[in-house]
Amino acid sequence: MIDPTPLPILVLLPGMDGTGRLFDPLLHALPPNVAVQVLRYPTDQVLDYPALVERVWQQLPLDRPFVLLGESFSGPVAVSIAARRPSALLGLVLCSSFVRNPRSALAPLSPLLKLLPLRHLPFWPMDALLLGGFSTASLRSALAAAIAQVTPQVLRARLQSVIAVDASQALVATDVPLLYLQARHDRLVPASASILIRQLRKDARLVAIDGPHCLLQAAPTEAAVHLQRFMHELAQARVALNGS
């Protein structure tokens, strides 16, 4: 029997490329009854985390229930939005993400970022970090195309933002159900990132999925299943709360 309960909108915040193009595999894996809004960041304009939070806030569907998903780089944005407790927000999802610099040992190297020739770096290190053993020709092509759209200046600024970010107190201030999608083979964001999130939000639900850092791209079907389950639970809870 089909559940008639209407699902909230799924609002997707992209990874460091900010283009939203890399959500295509997930969009194809989700059924037609899941309404999705993909938000995008400028590819040629430097915006720090607070500026991105304001940009996202202006685009949220505040007149209709929604679930907010922050992928990788966008985790702190999603958490900061949730900390404001918008009335239409039903749940928060973090995917391969963090609230503090996930590689704090590399922070002292941040001054070197301005010297890094991002446009001319070989692609294979990125492939190894983001896709690893799950790499395919189509995924490599999509990843390279998305990153190529972003100026080196913007990429450097976003890397600097990750190094300096600390959204832990914002996470404590959130009160909606939280789902964390963890990639079992993530070479970029270690398990310590999800451990911290669960320390700050002990009620957070963690789901581990076989996949690399680019989890929604390499394992979209399994991710979609968990997202739908989470959204169904939130929708049903909302109906029960409203008594109709």
Per residue in 120-133, pLDDT (tens digit) is: 455 667 888 899 99
Question: What pLDDT is attached to residue 108?
Answer: 44
Q: Are strands 36-38 and 89-95 parallel, antiparallel or unpaired?
A: unpaired
Any domain includes 166: yes
| Closest CA relative to residue 217, chosen from 17, 9, 7 | 17
CATH of the domain at 98: 3.40.50.1820
- Give dist(CA 131, CA 113) in Å, integer: 22
- Give dist(CA 58, CA 43) in Å, integer: 18
Any domain includes 2: no
User: If pLDDT is split at 50, 70 and 90, which confidence band does 224 have?
Assistant: very high
Any domain includes 1: no
Question: Could you tell me how many residues make up the chain?
Answer: 244
User: If pLDDT is split at 50, 70 and 90, which confidence band does 1 have?
Assistant: very low
What's the token pair of residue 213? 């850092």
243: phi > 0 → left, psi -120 to 50 → alpha, else beta; which?
left
Give, in degrees to the nearest 5, the angle at Cα 72 between 67 and 78.
35
Residue 196 belongs to domain spanning: 9-242
Any domain includes 151: yes
Question: What pLDDT is attached to residue 23?
Answer: 98
| Total-model pTM | 0.92
Question: What pLDDT is attached to residue 6?
Answer: 86
Domain total in the chain: 1
Question: What pLDDT is attached to residue 207?
Answer: 98
